[in-house]
Amino acid sequence: MKTCKKCGVSKPLTDFHKNPKSRDGRGTQCKKCTHANLAEQRKRPEAKERFKKYAWRSMIKKRYAMTEQRYNVLLDAQRGGCAICGALTAADKFQRRLHIDHCHETKTVRGLLCGNCNNGIGRFKEDANLLRIAAAYLEHYDAYIKRKK
């Protein structure tokens, strides 16, 4: 039996997390108090931001083999904006950072794009020829409208 430092209740050792650094090999707070304490810490705004940043770093490392430093180098090279339109934000109120554009076949990172440009490329199936045809279509339509004026 051991007494929890937080709630003061005596409980069996199995109700405490293992801690090889302590004399008895168990933590000072019972599992219930430890979990409650962690839940309380996670509610704090600074903890939420820290977790979001950690999650983002883990995600870009896993998906793109990219570090935060490499992301920042790309962002600086693009003058802080989208590689296509130059927008300084992700064009999405939930996404603060620019999207990491990559080739889906080779997983090679091409650059950072706002949400609109990233979606546009995706909707054209990453096909440069389709994008050229779309551009020609728009140019033809613009020329037609200007002739009518």
pLDDT tens string for the chain (149 positions)? 999 999 999 999 999 999 999 999 999 999 999 999 988 888 888 887 888 888 999 999 999 999 999 999 999 999 999 999 998 876 665 667 899 999 988 889 999 999 899 999 999 999 999 999 999 999 998 776 777 66
2 - beta bridge partners?
Answer: 11
Q: Alpha-carbon Rg of the chain, whole angstroms?
A: 26
Distances (CA, A) of 99 to 81, 83, 88, 132: 11, 10, 12, 23
Q: For residues 42 and 98, state if they share a domain.
A: no
- Residue with structure tokens 């707070």? 29
Q: What is the pLDDT of residue 104?
A: 86
Domain end (from 36, 64, 92): 64
DSSP state of 52: H
pTM of the model: 0.63
* 25 domain residue, yes or no: yes
Q: For residues 86 and 40, state if they share a domain.
A: no
Q: For residues 92 and 41, state if they share a domain.
A: no
Q: For residues 85 and 55, state if they share a domain.
A: no
Q: For residues 124 and 99, state if they share a domain.
A: yes
* 7 domain residue, yes or no: no
CATH (domain of 116) = 3.40.1800.10
Euclidean distance between CA atoms 61 and 129, whole angstroms = 31
Which residues constitute the domain of residue 136?
A: 81-148
Please tell me the total count of domains within the chain. 2
CA proximity to 110, closest of 100, 122, 124, 120:
100
